[in-house]
Amino acid sequence: MTGRENFAKLLANIGMATKMKTADPQLTVELIFLTPAVETLNKRQVMFKPVLEAIKEAKKTGIKIVACEVAMANVGLQKEDIEYGLVDEFASVGGLYVLQKIKEGYEVLTI
């Protein structure tokens, strides 16, 4: 993440996903963390605390959190750097994960 505008955009995406899921609990919502956003999952970085708290709130509504392992490797993030239980699934290649979801009929939304 570089710049406050990207940090704000990420928080806005998490917030919008949470509002969508709250408005329609039957809706399937997944947040997929790719590069560079995946580095905000690092529990050791104090500056990412607002993102981590927003993710925890999102999870309470039933949102699935997915992290791209390639993106994690690109930013030097290990699974041990992520709070246990925060991520529901680690996708080996995030782009392929997204492609598969699109083929299954999912829509990709970003703000």
- The ranges assigned to domains in the chain are 4-103
pLDDT at 35 over 60: yes
- Asked if the 4-103 domain carries CATH number 3.40.1260.10, the reply is yes
Residues 6 or more apart whose CB falls under 8 angstroms from that of 29 comprise 17, 20, 21, 61, 62, 63, 64
pLDDT for the residue 109 = 85
Q: Taking residues 21-26, what's their average pLDDT?
A: 97
Torsion of Cα atoms, 95 then 97 then 102 then 103, to 10°: 120
Mean pLDDT, the chain, whole residue set = 92
Q: What is the pLDDT of residue 5?
A: 64
Q: 86-104, pLDDT tens digit by residue?
A: 999 999 999 999 999 999 9
